[in-house]
Structure formats: C-alpha cells, structure tokens
Amino acid sequence: MRIVSLAGGIGGARFLRGLKAAAPDAEITVIGNTGDDITLFGLRVCPDLDTVMYTLGGGINEDQGWGRADETFTVKEELAAYGMEPQWFGLGDRDFATHIIRTQMLAAGYPLSQVTEALCDRWRPGVRLLPMSDDRTETHVVISDAEGRRAVHFQEWWVRLRASVPAEQILLVGAEDAAPAPGVLQAVGDADVVILPPSNPVVSIGTILQIPGIRAALEGKTVVGVSPIIGGAPVRGMADACLTAIGVETSAQAVLELYGSGLLDGWLVAEEDKGVALDGVAVEARPLLMDSPEATREIAAAALALALSLSR
C-alpha cells in the first residue's frame, strides 16, 4: 500500500509515528512543510523537516517535541556572548551539525530534496521525506506594533513574539514561482490514499497546499484529514492565532470547511465535535488526543481505515 501524508512539525511528526506503527508494511511518502525555513547565522534551518526526521529517526527531544535529545547549547551561549542576534531561536549543538551540512550541500548546488535525502541516510526515518518544494518559500506575517506595520518572518512572530501580536496577514513569499519538489506529484499520483495529519491548517498544511500543482493533484485522490482542533481549542500550540489571521474560527467545523469537500473525502474529529458535517465528506468521531504512542497509532489506524473505505 502506498500512503502520502502532508506534515508540519510536532503534530505531523507525532501522527506519522502512529501511522508507521499502524501500517508497518506501507510505503509512506511525507511531503514536508518548508514555509517555516529560516536562515540563521548563515545556516539554513528547516524546522519542520527536521522535526519529522528526528522524531521518526529516534533523535527527537521527546518532552519538547522539537530539537535533539541530550542537547547542549554551548554554541548558542558563545554566539550570545558576542552579542549575536537573534537569540530567541533555540539551536542546540547537535542540531547545528544538521544545519551546517544542509547549508554546505545547498551552497554546493544540491537541491533541498537531495540534501534531505542525504540527512535521512543517517536517521532512517522509515518514510520517504520530501520537502514540498526545492524552491525557497518563506511564511511571513504582517503585524503592527511599536515599530509600525511590517512583515516579519513567521519564526519571529511565532517564537519571539509567541503570536502575542495579532497577525493581519500570513503570506507564503515565493509561492507563485515555486514548483513541487521532484517526486512530490509522482508520489501523490501513485498513492492509494492521502492522509492529512493534525498539523497546523494554515502555516503547515495550508502552506503545502499553496505550492502550485499540489492541491490539484490531491483533489484527484482519496484524502482523509485528522482535525487539529478539539472542542474549539488547538490541543497544543497557538494554531488559533493563525486561523484568526485568515478569518477562520478555531473549530473542527471551520477547518473542515477551510479544506473543503473538493479536497477532503473524510474527516476525523474528536468525540466532543461529533456534530461536525459537510456535504460530500464522511465525518467520524473518536478520541483524537495523541497522548501516548498507542493512542496515536489508533488514531492513525482509524484515519487509514476511513480512507481505505472511501477509496475507489
């Protein structure tokens, strides 16, 4: 069986671990969000790709959900001692090695998809991890604060400002000119089913869907999504701030309508959201809290079973 899954960072990676456990023999291709990517200290950092790679490869900091296990921060402290900015983004010593290799390979002319494949040679995540695009796109957020109305990198709004300043607009800079990475459309075309994990619907899944050609390719497939919103709240994190920015309510119903029946064939919601409905979409309610590997595996198994029951 061939499965394609889209993924952001923590929510996506956790779900994918469950999906691997639920379908150990499946060929899983993951299309990862690169809108969060940022250049820091001259190094290209791809937080969502790395979160998926470390989580599935056994190198993640489990408590935090991002970054490396057994991490130290000597380089970060030394940079700070020189007064180097930014100091609000946490890069650990082990993590730095990944970004050094990536930057070196990109500078040598390798596309991000090949760099990611090379990094995965070490981590063996058990899925084929593809960036959504080899072209550089970045999510920027328009805010108004003491410095006036301006656009900041998504990471500055999310990590430095903790989304405390309302986002007036969220844009994927470079999207129109970006192409899906090699292998992406092929993998979608070959897929038996497509699963959307409970990743951020705006800055993770929404970003991937903005790469020209990806949404159209998905619309021809059987797609089942898992709601990232439970009872009106984004379980962990601040996805509500992103939804508000694009004028969408923080509810499983509103996210279902955002994706729409053109994209989704099935939608898994939490039991407290069982009234959710949309013409043309099969909605199923079940526990959706990924609070243990076992619970996560069962969520993924339910998403897969729904998808297989809907696929022609």
Residue 211 interacts, among ligand GDP, Ca ion, none and using kind-specific CB cut-offs from 5 to 8 Å, with none
* Residue 201 in contact with Ca ion, rule: CB under 5 A: no
Are 20 and 127 within 8 A, CB to CB?
yes
Encoded tokens for 48:
């969502």
The dihedral sign for the CA sequence 14, 272, 259, 281: positive
- Which among 9-17, 54-62, 85-93, 302-310 is the span making contact with Ca ion, rule CB under 5 A? 9-17
Task: Map residues 35-64 to x or -, x wherever contact with Ca ion holds by CB under 5 A.
Answer: -x-----------x----------------
> Which residue's Cβ lies closest to ligand GDP?
11
Give 249-252 contacts, CB < 8 A, sequence gap 24+: 251/276, 252/227, 252/276
Nearest distance from residue 12's CB to ligand GDP, in Å? 3
Closer residue to ligand GDP (CB): 214 or 288: 288
**What are the residues binding ligand GDP (CB under 6 A)?**
7-12, 48, 198-200, 204, 226-228, 230, 234-237, 239, 288-290
Closer residue to Ca ion (CB): 131 or 266: 131
Encoded tokens for 180:
């899906």
Are 12 and 6 within 8 A, CB to CB?
yes
With helix as H, strand as E and coil as C, how does 160-190 read?
HCCCCCCCCEEEEECCCCCCECCCHHHHHHH
Nearest distance from residue 10's CB to Ca ion, in Å? 8
Residue 11 interacts, among ligand GDP, Ca ion, none and using kind-specific CB cut-offs from 5 to 8 Å, with ligand GDP
Q: Quick check: bond before 212 cis, omega within 30?
A: no
* Residue 12 in contact with Ca ion, rule: CB under 5 A: no
Residues that bind Ca ion (CB under 5 A): 8-9, 36, 48
